[in-house]
Structure 1
Amino acid sequence: MVRSKSPIQALLIAGAAIALPLAVVPAASVAETAQPRSSAPVSVASGLDNPRQITFKKGVGFLIAEAGVGGKGPCMPGPEGSPVCFGKSGAITRLRGGNLERLVKKLPSLADKDGAGAIGPSDVIPYGDHRIAFTVGLGADPAVREDLPKKGRWMAMLVAANLRGGHQDGELKEIADLGGFEARENPHPTAPDSNPVSVLKKKKKFLVTDAGGNDWLKVHRDRGVKVLAVFPDRSYAGSDEFQAVPTSVVKGPDGAYYISQLTGFPFVMNAAQIYRAVPGEAPTVYASGLTNVTDLGWHNGTLYAVQISDAGLASGGPPIGSLRQVVPGGTTHPAVAAGLFAPYGVAFKGSNAYVTTCAVCPNKGEVMSVPLG
């Protein structure tokens, strides 16, 4: 069995049972059966391609990273040897006023031949004047980019785009080649693997988690990439050792940073942790007892976590997950919304959380509004 270091590779590795329900278990129907009618999540957008992280900024709206649906190729072996094929189907999409608009199109994407479980754009943040920065995942040895078309070089990178009037203006610009850094430095002592997931802006710097590289990175456009932390392998409840697979990084109200953990194979239930990290210091465990966390978000002083699968990605069933309220120092965390199909990213507006679901689905991804009051 492959020891996946990619959240979406993990879904594919967990077995065919995960892929089969995509056409028969819509995210909205699962969520509605899991909650009381008065607090049921409501779909506010649909038709997304493998949606991942979501960000909200007043005056901009919601920005969503769509990993795409792959394409016609070239194809290469995927996590279990079955082919994944390259295409220019990834996008950065805005949700505003109930309408979806793909602002940046034709971004690189790798996916199964049916478009499921894609790897491509992972997270997006607005900054400055009409600018956005976004990560593009890979989930493989960066050397495989040499076998991809020219657009494939953007995979395993932190990229900037300049938006004017809500549309792409000019060429994409490289902020950092994180795959190249992984290939040269390989801070975690395993085979090179880069899968940039979460990005956060800090003054003139960017903070990025690389789920493939098992590290937390600081990116400065002029000074390059620096490792802030490497997350070691560990075991839980007598399990085999697994890799950390850090996913989201967010800044807390105390000024520290909080980093979530998906965990690698065997994707043990309750084995994921949330780390509290301060640059220059070793990360400490803030909360434990979680399962396969893909995103974090602070709202009104409370930390929330998205679990893509509550039972663990190797449970053999479909990835039914939840939005959880994190209890500091706790080992159990109450569900705010449960029964969500492959939830992934979370953002906040007013008294609601907004969660992307069906994160492994071509053209079936949704944004669900979850009341927090």
Structure 2
Amino acid sequence: MAKHPWRWLTVLVAAATVVGAAGPALAAPRSPGAPAPRIDVIATGLDNPRGLTLGPGGLILVTEAGRAGVGPCVPGPEGADFCLSATGAVTAIQHGRQWRIATGLPSLGTRNASEVLGPHDVALTSAGALVTLGLGTDPARRASLGTAGALTGTVVRLTRYGPRRFADLAAFEAANNPDQGQPGTGPDSNPYGLAPAPGGGVVATDAGGNDLLRIDRKGHISTLAVFPVRPTPGPGGAVIPMHFVPTTVVRGPDGAWYVGQLTGFPFPVGGAKVWRVVPGHAPTVYADGFTNIIDIAFDRRGRLIVLEITKNGLLSGNPAGALIRVERNGARTELASAGLITPTSVAVGADGSFYVSNKGTLAGVGEVLRIRTSS
């Protein structure tokens, strides 16, 4: 079974298009007397917005995975062709303005735009602004994309002269394939989440490789953790290997790394977990019972914030996501769901506001939201 999950978003993209035209998704029931969050749209017109990060002076950076391409193309793991374009971008938002600070980044999309991989996350580090660029297939196929696709499967540094390769995660996967030996695995790289690391460099998730990687300030890559493939009942009851698909990483208040799990097919409702990683030790489960985690963060009080791309499961056809807070004692509060349509990233502001990439599987109508709650 392929690691790459995005083909299963096809039905959600269609549903999100309908919901986006008709109005926000219906809210899940809230506790009696609980005030609804205030949600403001602070950026619009984005192409498949994905990861976002907060910078100084109210600056927000958000990656745009781009649009469907015309080629050359590579076969995806479920048989669909992913075709190259130069429509990936990074947008800046500040003081009510938005503008693209980087354009022409490589993007891979199906011809009907049901799935798009491209710039997935951005981190501000001592090495500069770093961006993951997706690939979503066997790294051996990258060569067929030619020079225009040479940066797919990498982390790049944004410079005034354009993107420059910082670390080649696809090449690392091809040479090492850290999850080899697990059921249903094979070389597959899809760089996704990024988090700045102490001492310089970053930590990255490879959603295709099922691993967590450390990249030092010179771009050297090493493996921090490899995540398990789990036997899981699939449609019809047959047990299949469910891949981990790590989408997000953040450094916790205790200095450990926390990794959010999307899960691969069959994307079981309640089957996603947040894992705690201490270098040199096996990963452990920190919190479970979530559905299709796309991003995580910690708030000012050290509470875990979880963003589900869809609260009802990737195969449900319902694009409503959910923003959830986990207290230190494990109690959970759904902070927002109404208006969250395939959300893809969350960051916590200094004032406690949440910034969310929304409509993250749609081109031309993607948004960034500011969400303010009463607690």
TM-score by length of 2: 0.89
- Aligned with 1:125 (options 111, 123, 126): 123
The runs of 5 or more residues in structure 1 that have no matched partner are 163-168
Match of 2:143 in 1: 146
CA distance in 1, matches of 2:97, 2:111: 29
Match of 2:370 in 1: 369
1:75 equivalent to 2:81? Answer: no
Distance 1:222 1:55, change over 3 A: closer
1:197-230 superposed Cα distances (whole Å, 9 cap, x missing partner): 1111222232111110000011125472111110
* Total equivalences in the alignment: 358
Helix, strand or coil at the partner of 2:229: coil
1:281-331 superposed Cα distances (whole Å, 9 cap, x missing partner): 11111000011001011111111011011111122x13321111124574x
1:230 equivalent to 2:226? Answer: yes
- Aligned with 1:192 (options 181, 187, 191): 187
The one-letter amino acid paired with 1:157 is T
Distance 1:27 1:191, change over 3 A: farther
The runs of 5 or more residues in structure 2 that have no matched partner are none
Match of 1:302 in 2: 303
Preserved CA contact (<8 Å) 1:108 1:120: yes
The one-letter amino acid paired with 1:335 is E
Match of 1:23 in 2: 17
Worse-superposed segment, 218-227 or 55-64? 218-227
Preserved CA contact (<8 Å) 2:312 2:318: no
Aligned-CA RMSD value:
2.3
Preserved CA contact (<8 Å) 1:287 1:328: no
1:111 equivalent to 2:109? Answer: yes
Helix, strand or coil at the partner of 1:319: coil
Q: Which runs of 4+ in 1 moved over 6 A?
A: none
Helix, strand or coil at the partner of 1:144: helix
- Aligned with 1:62 (options 60, 63, 66): 60
The one-letter amino acid paired with 2:19 is V
Match of 1:166 in 2: none
The one-letter amino acid paired with 1:198 is G
Query: Where in structure 2 are the equivalents of 1:245-260 lying within 5 Å?
Result: 245-260=245-260
Helix, strand or coil at the partner of 1:70: coil
1:216 equivalent to 2:243? Answer: no
> What is the CA-CA distance between 1:78 and the residue it aligns to?
3.6
Distance 1:314 1:92, change over 3 A: same
Preserved CA contact (<8 Å) 2:203 2:212: yes
- Aligned with 2:164 (options 140, 161, 173): 173
Preserved CA contact (<8 Å) 2:16 2:342: no
Match of 2:48 in 1: 50
Match of 2:360 in 1: 359
> What is the CA-CA distance between 1:43 and the residue it aligns to?
1.8
> What is the CA-CA distance between 1:30 and the residue it aligns to?
1.6
The one-letter amino acid paired with 1:345 is S
> What is the CA-CA distance between 1:236 and the residue it aligns to?
5.6
Helix, strand or coil at the partner of 2:286: strand
CA distance in 2, matches of 1:312, 1:32: 15
Match of 1:137 in 2: 134
Preserved CA contact (<8 Å) 1:259 1:276: yes
Match of 2:320 in 1: 320
Helix, strand or coil at the partner of 1:85: strand
TM-score by length of 1: 0.89
Helix, strand or coil at the partner of 2:150: helix
CA distance in 1, matches of 2:2, 2:72: 22
Preserved CA contact (<8 Å) 1:250 1:258: yes
Preserved CA contact (<8 Å) 1:9 1:139: no
Helix, strand or coil at the partner of 1:41: strand
Helix, strand or coil at the partner of 1:110: strand
Preserved CA contact (<8 Å) 1:218 1:225: yes
Helix, strand or coil at the partner of 2:87: strand
CA distance in 2, matches of 1:343, 1:83: 25
Preserved CA contact (<8 Å) 1:346 1:353: yes
Identity in percent: 39
Preserved CA contact (<8 Å) 1:8 1:360: no
Match of 2:333 in 1: 334
Helix, strand or coil at the partner of 2:202: strand
